[in-house]
Amino acid sequence: MSIDIYWRIGTHGDQPSLRRRVTSRGEWAPVVPGSLAPGVRHGRRDGYSYVEHMADVARASEVSGFVGGLLPSFPFTDDPWATAAALARETTTYRFMIAYQPGFLHPVQAARMSATLQRATGGRLVYNIISGGGGPAQLWWGDRVDHDDRYARTSEFLDVLKGVWNGGPFDYEGRFYRVEGAGLPEPLARQPFPEIYFSGSSKAAIEAAGRHADYYLSWLEPFPDLAAKFAQVREHSAALGTAPKFAVRIDVLARETEEAAWDEIRRGWEHVDPSALASADGDSVGWLRSQSFVSWPVRHHRELEVSPNVWGGFHLLRGGPAFGLVGSYAQVAERLDELIGLGVGAFILAGVPHLEEAYRVGEEVLPLLKGHDVRVASPLTAALSDSRA
């Protein structure tokens, strides 16, 4: 089985490490001496932009063996569509997984944008379909649609997008969308349709994923719980006559020794308020699941290690999902191997800082994956991979 491994590209600045939760890369925080992209020289900004830094991360992960990069989308980030268009020219075969909420685009416009990007990049667009976590972040977009209806809207959106992809005329009348005689024109029609990575842990999400996902994408969870979730998705999808593959989004902190990796966590934990562990302001079922795996109270960082090398405190050190992998290079590779054994066919890995950790994980962890056909980004890295076999 071939394995696709993506790297996350931060679209909202970056930290210098997990030891302190401060932004020093990009102008998402005040630009001061010591900042990067832009930096400060002789009291003035040095002219280096954050998109150039994201291009550095894309090039670094491409040459380090990642097949592509996830471009996240939140109210506090750059737009991933525009970012992908800018970064495509800086890479060769690197794919761009664009995260977006279907509710904020019309599906015909999304189809036209996607086909244009496919035509311009040689088919390097991948979708990460998200339907929102509720709370203030949803209201920021002016979206007051309830949780389950957001997934119903997503499903209709993808029905229309697929319907117009190969040309028209295509008619559709649903609860959320209505089109008449729609269809992409030549030469946009019949471009390769982007692979769909579908996120969501609720029953409504799994139902929609069964209809549309190429990959059902989950945050990392304790492995038995993840296996049970995959079984639920398989059962529901089989009833619909589909069989999505599985992908997991994982933060990684890997060092030469296990002790060195946990020491990095310890240094970051010194600045953490453990009471923030349970904070949430939306209706995300995935977030509620992640909190259910923690035994309270938590007094020490190792109490969040729910199984060997699976640690549930990453969100306190850098924001985002709670669970990731901590350990030596060999241990992290072993855990990834175990996940592949559960049926995982793709990973979205991440590390802070994204630039340096892309090189580290690509050079030290990916070569340790055993017996798997890891799809790489370019002929250069393919040759390197072959030479290691």
Every domain of the chain and the residues it spans = 2-30+45-374
pLDDT surpassing 70 at residue 39: yes
- Tell me what the mean pLDDT of segment 66-92 comes to: 95
- 379 pLDDT band, cuts 50/70/90, is very low
Mean pLDDT of 94-111: 94
Q: What percent of the chain is predicted at pLDDT more than 90?
A: 73
CA 332 to chain centre: 18
Lowest mean pLDDT among 167-176, 190-199, 304-313, 363-372: 363-372
In 3-state terms, what secondary structure has residue 172? strand
Which of 17-21, 158-162, 374-378 ranks highest by mean pLDDT? Answer: 158-162
Per-residue pLDDT averaged across 76-104, rounded?
95
**C-beta of residue 137 within 8 angstroms of C-beta of residue 86:** no
The mean predicted confidence, pLDDT, of the chain is 90
- When pLDDT is averaged across residues 245-253 and rounded to a whole number, the result is 97
Name the residue among 17, 37, 41 with its Cα closest to residue 27. 37
| Strand pairing class (44-45; 40-41) | antiparallel
The average pLDDT across 163-191 equals: 96
**Residue 380 above 50 pLDDT?**
no
CB 212 within 8 A of CB 129: yes
Ramachandran area for residue 286 (φ above 0: left; ψ -120 to 50: alpha; else beta):
alpha
Tokens 């998109």, residue located:
51
At residue 374 the predicted structure's pLDDT band, cuts being 50, 70 and 90, is: confident
pLDDT exceeds 70 at position 381: no
Please give the CATH superfamily to which domain 2-30+45-374 belongs.
Luciferase-like domain (3.20.20.30)
The answer to whether 152 and 159 are in contact (CB under 8 A) is no
Mean pLDDT (whole number) for 121-147: 85
Of the candidates 219, 222, 187, the residue with the CA atom closest to the CA atom of residue 205: 219
pLDDT for 384 equals 36
Q: Which of 23-27, 356-360, 372-376 has the highest mean pLDDT?
A: 356-360
Beta bridge partners of 2: 373
Instruction: Indicate whether 118 pLDDT > 80.
Output: yes
What's the pLDDT at 386?
Answer: 37
What's the pTM value of the predicted model, to 2 decimals? 0.92
List helix spans (H) across the chain. Answer: 50-63, 80-88, 107-121, 136-140, 147-165, 203-212, 223-240, 258-269, 285-292, 314-318, 329-341, 354-364, 379-388
pLDDT score for 131:
85
Give me the pLDDT at residue 162, please: 97
